């Protein structure tokens, strides 16, 4: 059952103002812009669609669901196993940093400002914490709806990447908003699919982004940490 606050905590947790440092990461988008893979509205739309539906976005959604269910059952060992998998799925040092730094910051911020005993126990038990796992823990502790949580998370990922793109390639705010408007219905469907899925459904087909992350590690000029 959802609490009276409904989905409103998600608006706070997934806001650009929540102190996890999301603005510092582009998930290889900086390299994609440098390489010319992403250069306008159409190529950005295609890039985001691929990495969110066939790459880390979908995987993160499945990991968030698994962490939510394990946390709701009070199974810290299962939560830890999901977290280990989430960290292991990072295909580069930068991608691992991206999820681990944000995840730890998220869990600490929620434990401080939105406390629940379940969150405190998880924060103490986990050294590194992947971002989707931290969100799943917090959402379960506050009894937020799982599908709302996953959908909001996917939209927040898209928003952060569009924001990064606006600083990297010559497209305007209107183009960014058009991309988000087209993305929202697709991400809602993806969230619904992932809620029905399990960890056996995890997989990625975004090799170009993975290789781009490795190349970004030695890119000469960089604005972002990934």
Determine the Cα–Cα distance for residues 156 and 151; give it in Å rounded to an integer.
Answer: 9
Half-sphere exposure of residue 182: CA atoms within 13 angstroms, side-chain side = 13
Helices 93-113 and 117-125: angle between axes, nearest 10 degrees: 150
Determine the Cα–Cα distance for residues 141 and 195; give it in Å rounded to an integer.
Answer: 17
Q: Say what the pTM is.
A: 0.96
Q: What is the pLDDT, as a whole number, of residue 5?
A: 64
CATH of 24-216, one of 3.40.50.300, 1.10.357.10, 1.10.1060.10, 1.10.4190.10: 1.10.4190.10
Residue 48 — φ and ψ, nearest 5°? -65, -40
Query: Which element (helix H / strand E) includes 61?
Result: helix 56-72
pLDDT values of the chain reduced to their tens digit, one per residue, 226 residues: 445 467 899 999 999 999 999 999 999 999 999 999 999 999 999 999 999 999 999 999 999 999 999 999 999 999 999 999 999 999 999 999 999 999 999 999 999 999 999 999 999 999 999 999 999 999 999 999 999 999 999 999 999 999 999 999 989 999 999 999 999 999 999 999 999 999 999 999 999 999 999 999 999 999 999 9
- Please state the domain extents for the chain: 24-216
């Amino acid at each position: 059952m959802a609490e009276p606050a409904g989905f409103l905590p998600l608006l706070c947790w997934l806001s650009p103002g929540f102190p996890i440092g999301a603005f510092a990461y582009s998930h290889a988008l900086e390299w994609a812009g440098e390489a010319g893979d992403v250069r306008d509205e159409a190529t950005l739309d295609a890039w985001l669609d691929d990495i969110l539906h066939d790459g880390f976005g979908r995987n993160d959604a499945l990991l968030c669901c698994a962490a939510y269910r394990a946390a709701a059952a009070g199974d810290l060992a299962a939560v830890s196993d999901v977290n280990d998998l989430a960290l292991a799925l990072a295909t580069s040092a930068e991608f691992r940093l991206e999820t681990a730094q944000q995840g730890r910051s998220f869990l600490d911020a929620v434990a401080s400002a939105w406390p629940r005993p379940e969150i405190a126990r998880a924060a103490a038990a986990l050294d590194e914490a992947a971002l989707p796992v931290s969100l799943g823990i917090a959402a379960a502790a506050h009894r937020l709806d799982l599908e709302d949580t996953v959908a909001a998370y996917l939209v927040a990922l898209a928003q952060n990447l569009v924001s990064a793109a606006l600083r990297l390639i010559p497209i305007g705010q209107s183009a960014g908003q058009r991309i988000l408007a087209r993305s929202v219905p697709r991400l809602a469907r993806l969230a619904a699919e992932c809620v029905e899925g399990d960890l056996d459904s995890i997989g990625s087909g975004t090799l170009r982004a993975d290789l781009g992350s490795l190349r970004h590690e030695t890119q000469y000029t960089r604005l972002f940490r990934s």
